Amino acid sequence: MYSPELFFRRPEFIHSLQQVIEFLGTFAFAISGIRHAAAKKFDWFGGFVCGIAVAIGGGTIRDVMLGVTPFWMTSSIYMICTIFAQVFVIVFSKSLKRLDNTWFAFDTLGLALFTIAGMQKTLACGFPFWIAIIMGCMTGCAGGVIRDVLLNNIPVIFHKEIYALASIVGGVTYWVMYSLGIDVSVTVVTVFSVVCVIRYLAVRFHISLPQLPTEDE
């Protein structure tokens, strides 16, 4: 019989799992930045900057606002991961498109993990839940906005995909479950699933947020 509790009694397994997801998520985020850069004919340096911007941009803004040292300055893993992503894009450029479902999966895992990580860090700094939700969303989403600004594009999450909303609903779920006194392990797994499922359903069924009304009719 499958027993999720088993995992939670093995903290070293959870820790490793989290690190694997963080690596996959960072990798997928960096790949996204580098591919967009390639589409605009950026050079290797521009590609790396766009990759790193997606991978660490959101968390960096969060940490600056929280008043702590940006997370990527405490471990070189994010830089290394982006270098891997850069090499991967350069070597396997012709195969990237075929792997689109893989990137989507990794990216979604990353969004879910970064949302939770951003929330937990904010709560650990003593801020209330509504700020944690904003920071969780920012951790997952702001990097993509920076990428689009650097590429001189209109940020895609502002007019096309449901992306930030998955993070926000996940954040609210976290708040509700915490308020109900539910065990934190159960909460984290639930929030993680909620973010992934919403993101998946939105893309699968082409669900998007309503547009703002225009004035000129």
- Residues forming contacts to a copy of itself in the complex (CB under 8 A) are 34-35, 37-47, 49-50, 60, 64-65, 67, 69-70, 73, 76, 79, 89-90, 93-94, 96-97, 127, 130-131, 134, 145, 149-155, 157-160, 164-165, 208-215
CB of 115 to a copy of itself, least distance (A): 15
Indicate the residue among 25 and 51 with the shorter CB distance to a copy of itself: 51
Indicate the residue among 70 and 197 with the shorter CB distance to a copy of itself: 70
Cα-atom radius of gyration of the chain, to the nearest Å?
18
Q: Helices marked H in 151-183 — which ranges?
A: 164-179
CB of 84 to a copy of itself, least distance (A): 15
With tokens 């012709």, the residue in question is: 94
Indicate the residue among 13 and 158 with the shorter CB distance to a copy of itself: 158
With tokens 């070597």, the residue in question is: 91
- The C-alpha atoms of residue 203 and residue 111 are separated, in whole angstroms, by 14
CB of 59 to a copy of itself, least distance (A): 12
Indicate the residue among 5 and 43 with the shorter CB distance to a copy of itself: 43
CB of 121 to a copy of itself, least distance (A): 14
In this structure, which amino acid lies at residue 217?
Answer: E
Q: Is 166 within 8 Å of 202 (Cβ atoms)?
A: yes
In this structure, which amino acid lies at residue 192?
Answer: F
Cα-based torsion angle of the residue sequence 77, 127, 108, 34 in order, rounded to the nearest 10 degrees: -50
